[in-house]
Amino acid sequence: MSASDLREITRYIALGDSICIDLYPALDLASRRSMAPPEGVGAASLLYKNQDWLWPEFAGHDLASYNPEMVFTNLTADGATTTDVLEDQVAALPDDSGPALVTLTAGGNDLLWSFGLSEEESRRARHRTERNLREIVRRVRAHFEAVTIIVGTVYDPSDGTALTDDGFLDFADSMLRQLLLAGLHAYNDAVAEIAAEEGCLLADIHGHFLGHGTTVKDRAERWYWEGLIIEPSARGVSEVRRLWLRCLEAEPAQRADCSHLCGTGVIGGSRYLRLPSYHLFASRKKIRRASARTSTQRHLPSARLWVVSRCRASVCCRTTSTTGPASGALPRLAGA
């Protein structure tokens, strides 16, 4: 979207779960800085109006700076499932005839509720979640005359290991943990497909967060709250906000070319690659052949990330620097 398009948005509505609420980043900051939990530090709040004292990098880079008259409505709720969003939050959408922006993060709690079910039961539960997500998008689009919707994937605090070091999954055996992880990957693939088919922008929170969970030994450096590994830290929610801004400010051609970032990062000192689930059992030869269609596959220096994106029916490779305004490290929080 252009700056003029963003200035025309009259209302921003956040739908979804605890990825976007203020509570956990506020508790994170309170413990790090020995202060009262501050307000307005969640992902949705930061997208609307940045906290310059906390994130000076984003000063003047928020929705309120584009349009000071824009109205912000945060309907997200801790523990919300896609059913909760569909039945409660969508029903509470405000009426507005002007162009609207909606961010949606949902599905993670649905997956957790299905944890422990059989493989077949988990599959059916996941398909219900996918249908709910599609219905949410369609109802939001029907509610507003003009609306831009950003849909987010679900992150993986285990960084693809299906293990946590805080006891969260200690009760589960290896098979159950792997089933949960497989369901997460399958759901994120479905989120990407729904976003493409329903004309939404896709924020790949999962891909962006890989390598910033339990594979980071220093818990203070993770993008997850130390109090509960499934919740985002203050740094984590700022990164969600960063992805949303990228979606909004990307050129249309960029959004069409690489609609789904599906693997990125360096984990444990090694390059990390995850293809969508329907590619997991493809031979290396097939993957090389698909990548060769873009003529961009190459050996990369260790200071860069190997990013694989699904572009329509093909697989393309591109690189992204680990430094710079788009992906550089944010200031370390005091006490971290």
The answer to whether residue 289 sits within a structural domain is no
DSSP 3-state assignment of 67? coil
pTM of the shown model: 0.76
- Distance CA(37)–CA(117), nearest Å, equals 37
C-beta atoms surrounding 193 within 10 Å: 17
The answer to whether residue 316 sits within a structural domain is no
Which residue segment(s) compose the domain that 142 sits in?
A: 3-258
What total number of domains does the chain contain?
Answer: 1
The answer to whether residue 81 sits within a structural domain is yes
The answer to whether residue 273 sits within a structural domain is no
The answer to whether residue 134 sits within a structural domain is yes
Contacts of 26 (CB under 8 A, 6+ apart): 37, 38, 39, 41, 42, 234
The answer to whether residue 312 sits within a structural domain is no
- Taking CA atoms, 315 is separated from 127, 201, 287, 302, in Å, by 25, 19, 8, 22
DSSP 3-state assignment of 224? strand
pLDDT digit string (tens) for the chain, length 336 residues: 888 899 999 999 999 999 999 999 999 999 999 999 999 999 999 999 999 999 999 999 999 999 999 999 999 999 999 999 999 999 999 987 899 999 999 999 999 898 778 889 999 999 999 999 999 999 999 999 999 999 999 999 999 888 777 666 554 566 677 778 899 999 999 999 999 999 999 999 999 999 999 999 999 999 999 999 999 999 999 999 999 999 999 866 455 444 444 333 333 333 333 333 322 222 222 223 233 333 322 232 322 222 333 332 222 222 233 333 333 333 333 333
- Distance CA(309)–CA(192), nearest Å, equals 11
| CATH assignment of the domain containing 176 | 3.40.50.1110
DSSP 3-state assignment of 186? helix
Beta bridge pairs of residue 252: none
Instruction: Work out the angle at residue 105's Cα, subtended by the Cα atoms of residues 147 and 256, and round it to the nearest 5 degrees.
Output: 55
The answer to whether residue 286 sits within a structural domain is no
Look up residue 298 and give its two tokens: 């190459």
The answer to whether residue 323 sits within a structural domain is no
